Chain A
Amino acid sequence: MTENTPLSPPPRRTLSARARWAVPAVVAVGVGVAFAAPPLLASADSSGLPPVTPEELVAAVASAEPQALSGTVVYTARLGLPSLPFGPETADPVNLLDGSSTLRVWTDGGERSRVALLGDMSEFSVVHDGPEAWTYASSGDEVVHYTVSDADRARYESMKDEATSGRAAGQVPGGADLPTPAEAASQVLDRAEQFSDVSLDAESTVAGRGAYQLVVTPKTPGTLVARVVVAIDAKTDTPLRVQVWSTKDAQTPALEVGFTDVTFATPSDSVLAFSAPAGASVTEKVVTLPTDEQIAADHAKAASGTGLPEGVTVSGTGWATVVQATGVDGPALVAGDPSALADAPSGRPTIGSESAQGLLDQFGPQDGGGPASKFQGIDPATLYDSLTTKVPQGHLISSALLSVLITDDGRVLAGAVPPETLQAMA
């Protein structure tokens, strides 16, 4: 094109114009391959694990020592909930209700751990160090420090000496149980056999590690949960990922929490320690440890099934359980008014996924602060109407895994069942 102009490229360069334009094309293809190849290679390399039976796998998980590890956990909820009227910019536990969240997890396998929920420019941390625990929200520079009283502390120390397994240490107040897949999976497996079929799926790769996949399928058709898939690391028997599939969506799991990368090594001491930064607002909370008698009584209640608070009834079994409670003021509850729950049961509905439940318990609002305060300036009744669907029996919140029906006479029905079941019961 420019061969005869004085300004053409010098002749010693032999590349034609076409060859020159081929260079960016080749580079573009190379870049595409470089970004697409690693995930493809990783998923291809997932064979050759020794065969196991589901029973062996569950036993191995149950007996596995808690591992010291650090890693990144991605939690994704596709519950089909109406979107909340505030953005996901800051690291706030309420964002775990929907969408994707990234957490960093460090634990020494015992009683020291740190979990950080990452936001773009913010972080919400939960640090658990023996009998103490802290939460820190970077957006408000707020620290909550949980401690136990001196007497309880002495008792805790003796308990710790007795129970070196780490299981008992997991009961430490402060609620700093790790929302790792490990905790979630062991609970799922405990209940699995009674109401579900347990089988093994094809081996998979999670966080670059070969993993077995345990599939728990509910026996009853009357639930929204299609199946729960737990991926278990072949080497350490640590659960690496939990997926909960809804009957409404066969393509993607409704809830997914799993490691995207994990390192099995004890984290550095500085990560597992915490002290409140200067200038932060610190709230001190003393937690009372339950006494041995209380624990025994709770176990007895749970065993006999009479442990429910007043006003709460449970119907159905297993996956199709429906919890019914009376005396709840719907709009006030949505507005984040804790008094709306004053006469409501303390028993929470099981939402089919213990992992999500654990996360909600972990990061749930304390004292109606946190998420609720974001609703300031929004009319609770309007918000209530926009979040719920009006049905003849009252108001319905329907999601991929959980249905909640709030009747006009103040009853709440909840369960991992189709909304029609609740409406029929109301």
Chain B
Amino acid sequence: MSHAEVMVQAPAQVRGAFGRLLRSELRLVLGRRRNLVLLSGLAAVPLLLGLVLFLTRDTDLDGQGPGFVGKVTENGIFLVVASIFVCLPFLLPLTIGIASGDAVAGEASAGTLRYLLVVPVARTRLLVVKALAALAFAGSAVLAIAVVGLVTGAAFFGLHDVVLLSGDTVPLGVGAVRIAGVVAYVALSMTGLVAVGLFYSTLTEVPVGAMAATVVTAIVSGVLDTLPALSAIHPGLLTHHWLDFAEFLRIEPDWRVVAGGLGVQAAWVAVFATLAWARFTTADVSS
């Protein structure tokens, strides 16, 4: 019986243990070759977009394109916004779905989850560390697009004073702050999807299943958002407020719109993080 008694003892509270666990997890997630390939793939988008726009800028196609793509040749800083706009419907959810869906299910699949738990690490703490690492990856994915977009845009087209959607011009510094606001808003808009992915990840030992389910959730939400018959539920959809980042580029950003979008993400995070917690702390971990 001594065996069981040893095992059910509370994990010893060691100072700095949480930090060490988080650091090791971050190293694992951000250093994993698959994730680095994903990040490079995302970073290639602004590079490719900038190159295409640079090569076609003296043709009839100059200044055309959806969203902010048409504005890039006038001001390189818009390459940041245009790249985010291009990645937002699919590439970003795909990348984030892969990272967050893999968080717990990946360990379970590799058979390392139970070793982690006998280290011993409390399950709640492990889940928090996994969530933080997935959030960090989501943030670095958005940041990778932004930084490469800024550098590419500056190199190809130069940086100028920013013309807002309302036609008013603001100095480059103010414009850069606004575009930083766009990047921050988009990064925070991904938190709901990370929470959903984390929940799926606790449900299964097959990481691919959790990843696919996360990406499918984002896509289904986007599809539902286009059906007028469902307009009553649109404001609560995971993806509905993603494009509200344009608010930062209007003459007077309406902070209620921004807060509304972030509030919906907070609601998704609250529900799915607690679901993930309830599932993970009650699950029978056998691998």
Residue in A31, A143, A270, A276 whose CB lies within 8 Å of B270: A31
Determine whether B277 belongs to the interface, using a CB cutoff of 8 Å to chain A.
yes
> What does the 1/0 interface line of A93-104 toward B look like (CB < 8 Å)?
000000000001
Contacts A28-B271, A31-B271, A120-B246 known; A10 to B9 CB distance under 8 Å? yes
* Cα distance, A280 to B278, chains bound together (Å): 56
Q: Which residues of B contact A118 (CB under 8 A)?
A: 250
Q: Which residues of A contact B168 (CB under 8 A)?
A: 270, 274-275, 277
CB distance A31 to B243 under 8 Å? no
Contacts A35-B267, A271-B252 known; A121 to B67 CB distance under 8 Å? yes
CB distance B167 to A143 under 8 Å? yes
* Cα distance, A30 to B85, chains bound together (Å): 33
Of B3, B70, B165, B270, the most chain A CB neighbours within 10 A belong to: B165
Residue in B63, B117, B256, B282 whose CB lies within 8 Å of A17: B282
Determine whether A136 belongs to the interface, using a CB cutoff of 8 Å to chain B.
yes
> What does the 1/0 interface line of B61-84 toward A look like (CB < 8 Å)?
001001110110010000000000
CB distance B251 to A122 under 8 Å? no
* Cα distance, A134 to B167, chains bound together (Å): 10
Determine whether B123 belongs to the interface, using a CB cutoff of 8 Å to chain A.
yes
Contacts A5-B284, A7-B117, A279-B74 known; A274 to B167 CB distance under 8 Å? yes
Q: Which residues of B contact A24 (CB under 8 A)?
A: 271, 274-275, 277-278
Q: How many A-B residue pairs have CB under 8 A?
A: 122
* Cα distance, A72 to B260, chains bound together (Å): 15
Q: Which residues of B contact A412 (CB under 8 A)?
A: none
Interface size on B, residues (CB 8 A): 48
CB distance B66 to A121 under 8 Å? yes
CB distance B118 to A121 under 8 Å? no
In residues 250-286 of chain A, which contact B (Cβ within 8 Å)? 261, 268, 270-271, 274-280
> Shortest Cβ distance from A251 into chain B, in angstroms?
14
Determine whether B181 belongs to the interface, using a CB cutoff of 8 Å to chain A.
no
Determine whether B166 belongs to the interface, using a CB cutoff of 8 Å to chain A.
yes
CB distance A120 to B165 under 8 Å? no
CB distance B284 to A121 under 8 Å? no
CB distance B169 to A278 under 8 Å? yes
Determine whether B34 belongs to the interface, using a CB cutoff of 8 Å to chain A.
no
In residues 203-247 of chain B, which contact A (Cβ within 8 Å)? 236, 243, 246
> What does the 1/0 interface line of B138-172 toward A look like (CB < 8 Å)?
00000000000000000000001101011111000
CB distance A136 to B284 under 8 Å? no
Instruction: List the interface of chain A (C-beta within 8 A of B).
Output: 1-2, 4-13, 17, 20-21, 23-24, 27-28, 30-31, 34-35, 70, 72, 89, 104, 106, 114, 116, 118, 120-123, 125, 134, 136, 138, 141, 143, 261, 268, 270-271, 274-280
Instruction: List the interface of chain B (C-beta within 8 A of A).
Output: 3-4, 7-11, 63, 66-68, 70-71, 74, 85, 114, 117-118, 122-123, 160-161, 163, 165-169, 236, 243, 246, 250-252, 254, 256, 267, 270-271, 274-275, 277-278, 281-285
